Amino acid sequence: MERGELKPMDAEQLREYGHRMVDFIADYYKTIEDFPVLSQVQPGYLRKLLPSSAPVDPESLDQVLKDVQTNILPGVTHWQSPNYFAYYPSNSSIAGFMGEMLSAGLNIVGFSWITSPAATELEMIVLDWLSKLLKLPDEFLSTGQGGGVIQGTASEAVLVVLLAARDKFLHRVGKNALNKLVVYASDQTHSALQKACQIGGIYPENCRMLKADASTNYALSPDALTEAISHDISNGLIPFFLCATVGTTSSTAIDPLLLLGRIAKENGLWFHVDAAYAGSACICPEYRPYINGVEEADSFNMNAHKWFLTNFDCSALWVKDRNALVQSLSTNPEFLKNKASQTNMVVDYKDWQIPLGRRFRSLKLWMVLRLYGSQNLQDYIRSHINLAKHFEGLVAQDPRFEVVTPRLFALVCFRLVPFQSDLDLANKLNHELLDAVNSTGKIFISHTIAGENHPALQAAKSTDSESNSGI
């Protein structure tokens, strides 16, 4: 492209560049195993390779793609590699990619129904589909008083429901009671809850991260919750929010939803269920019992971008009472007013989230569900769990290692067996092993601490490649 010939939406140039970009990405996937899984670069590496200012004259696509290959890819940790076993799954797919491409091509900013009716209505329909696959209560369907919404991440999901719960309680007891509101969860709950509390103005001393240990397989104890709530009420505090997890980050522990939900209902708490990781597995009938008790929940969240072949970002949140979100998050400046919104004929998702603008994210989830179908998705999840079972068996056969926590889904927590019960030495040796394995670039695994300073390495089956590479 020469100077003065800028045609940013020329259809033929899009066709040419688009084909070349798809070829580049396809070639990347064909060779992804040739890259070190964990990037081996040092901090600040890229500034030494790129110019200090933007170009004045246009450069060719060939030059840009050459720089991607030479300078960018070495600084990428390859989350889609079949040798990536760290953190949690982040599965992309052709269907998800196509939906993302279509969303980028349409490039709508669908904050209200009128700005793109199809974006709002498809999101409602697709999340109803997914709700039915999960067999969630009918109260979570958009045909009633509740409904689903796509957030960017589970962190955003827990934030918006915490804000809704906070404002609902403060409306009842008075805004000056903010310093008395108390949040409950286990100490295995994702740190996103702590950040939500910080943003929501919940006093740090009123965030009860109740200890969970091996006696409950690191799940939140209903007895501990009851005791904490009783203690706080007796001290004049106001319990208002409980977050339970199905598939904790460290060990995929499962909080007992039914018992916790009953306690929440008895004490008038908002009950949120974070199933960001394990929720996907619950489309399989044999794993659906893990969310029994969701009937008691006020809100439920799962990340389709983790284990549901939907490219990041796509975090599905359902609520039973959409008005609670709207009352907390709605703004209505003059320039956004329109007939459909003002007559309450439609859903405006701007009132269900923090930002105003939003992407057409439902397209990729729609494509995943349509191009793969629920049976294939169930089989896909089962295959990951079977691979984790296989790896768990291999670990059990090696006397140098032990499995630290029960394997429930596709995450295996294991460690070197402590020598003469020396935990300090065990910590040191496991960290050294982790660093040695990851530094090879052949695979990437992550770590956690389980219970009383018990180190554990984490191996999560997280890609759909048929490669036999692994640990």
Q: What pLDDT is recorded for position 454?
A: 60
- Are the CB atoms for 182 and 269 separated by under 8 Å? no
pLDDT digits (tens, 9 = 90+) for 14-64: 899 999 999 999 999 999 999 999 999 999 999 999 999 999 988 999 999
Q: What is the pLDDT of residues 371-421, one digit of tens each?
A: 999 999 999 999 999 999 999 999 999 999 999 888 999 999 999 888 777
Residue 462 has pLDDT above 60, yes or no: no
pLDDT in tens, 62-106: 999 999 999 999 999 999 999 989 888 888 899 999 999 999 999
Residues 419-442: pLDDT tens digits? 777 788 888 899 999 999 998 989
CA distance 281 to 308: 9
Q: What is residue 149's predicted lDDT score, i.e. its pLDDT?
A: 96
Nearest CA among 215, 187, 184 for reference residue 197: 184
Tens of pLDDT along 121-157? 999 999 999 999 999 999 999 999 999 999 999 999 9
Which residues, 6 or more positions from 364, have their beta carbon under 8 angstroms from its beta carbon?
Answer: 95, 96, 97, 98, 99, 100, 103, 310, 311, 314
Which whole-number Å values give the CA distances from 243 to 113, 316, 411, 427, in the listed order? 31, 16, 22, 30
Phi, psi of 315 (to 5 degrees): -110, 115
CB half-sphere exposure, 317, CA atoms < 13 A: 27
Please report how many Cα atoms fall inside a 13 Å half-sphere around the Cα of residue 122, on the Cβ side: 18
How high is the pLDDT of residue 156?
Answer: 95
- E strand spans, 229-378: 238-245, 270-274, 299-303, 315-319
Neighbour tally for 335: CB within 10 Å: 6
**DSSP assignments along 307-324, one per residue:** HSS--S--EEEEES-HHH
Between CA 339 and CA 404 the distance in angstroms is 58
Query: CA distances (Å), 88 to each of 79, 313, 319, 355, in order?
Result: 10, 14, 25, 26
> In the predicted model, is pLDDT for residue 453 greater than 60?
no
| pLDDT computed for residue 276 by the predictor | 95
Position 9 confidence tier, pLDDT thresholds 50, 70, 90: confident
What is the distance between the alpha carbons of residues 249 and 263, in angstroms, rounded to a whole number? 24
| pLDDT per residue as tens digits for the range 295-318 | 999 999 999 999 999 999 999 999
Whole-number percent of the chain with pLDDT over 90: 74
Spatial CB neighbours of 176, under 8 Å, sequence gap ≥ 6? none
Q: Give all domains of the chain, ordered by start, each with its CATH number.
A: 11-84 (1.20.1340.10), 100-368 (3.40.640.10)
**Burial grade of 340 (CB within 10 A; 0-12, 13-18, 19 or more):** middle
* Residues with Cβ within 8 Å of residue 322, at least 6 apart in sequence: 145, 146, 147, 347, 352
